[in-house]
Amino acid sequence: MIQQARKTGRVLAIPVSGAAQIGYPDIRVPLLRIGLLGCGAIGHLIASHAEGFEITVLYDEVPDRARELAEQSGGVACQSFDMFLDAEIDLVVEAASVDAVRIHGRAVLEAGKDLVVMSVSALADPVLCEQLRRAALSSGRKVRVPSGAVMGLDNLKIGRIGGIDQLRLRTTKSPRSLGLDVCTRTLVFQGPAGECVDRYPRNVNVSVALALAAGREVDVELWADPGEDRNVHEILVEGAFGQGEIVVRNLPSPQNPATSYLAAFSVIALLRDLSEPIVVGT
């Protein structure tokens, strides 16, 4: 059985059951050094689950938020983005906003750091997406997108090889989260994901992640339901592989009801996988 890893300074010591008994020493893996761009609810959750990585530097447009989280995480709050970018880190986790991806994304890649994008709806902009792609190619770095608030992205990536004929997302949210005031279940939008992004940019990260994984447009239905206290995502996909249906009912994060726990945990899983020698999933 693999025992829980323990942190010792800047390396992670991983006792391997059985190996030590036959003379193998503890395996020591350097901790992944993270720069955290955005110190809100997701940033706090990442900091409280740091295992296999360490938050070295932090930056937020509100300096007090960066300083507060720096005290919790043991990192350094940077007074400017340039100071943040000059730090010795392996990758930057964007946990701020679509604007943060637009303003800082290319600079992160051109500085030789990988970029993890939480505000996935930024990549619905084809011009920005191509700019980031070219910057990543020229610098030899990666743009990484966590699974976010849904399940099944691995299967979509597999399914696209044989071809996906239909991909539909039905999302139901409380009217308050959409800025609406309705008394009954109401269809707010129906159409391609690209149009939905323009109208509800803070509520369609899921559709953009699905489109990136599947390599095709997503047909979206967005519903407002005053009787629903969770974000519900129903995904229907058909292709050469057959048919799949997934329903996810997300609990919101206590720190920020607009963020699902699953979305926040997905970036933590991604960061831990980067340090693992054996990785499960496509």
**178 touches 212 (CB < 8 A):** no
List the Cα angle 256/260/265 in 5-degree steps: 110
Distance of alpha carbon 58 from its chain centroid, rounded?
17
Q: Is 52 left (phi over 0), alpha (psi -120 to 50) or beta?
A: left
Distance of alpha carbon 180 from its chain centroid, rounded?
26
Provide the CB-side half-sphere exposure for 69 (13 A, CA).
28
Catalytic residue, from 44, 49, 104, 233: name it.
233
Tokens of 173: 């949210």
Buried b / exposed e over 45-84, threshold 16 CB at 10 Å, is bbbebbebbbbbbbbbeeeebbebbbeebebbbbeebeeb
Please confirm, yes or no, whether 49 is among the known catalytic residues.
no
Among 209, 85, 205, smallest CA distance to 154 is for: 209
According to DSSP, residue 148 is labeled: T
Q: Are strands 143-144 and 164-173 parallel, antiparallel or unpaired?
A: unpaired
Q: Which residues are catalytic?
A: 233
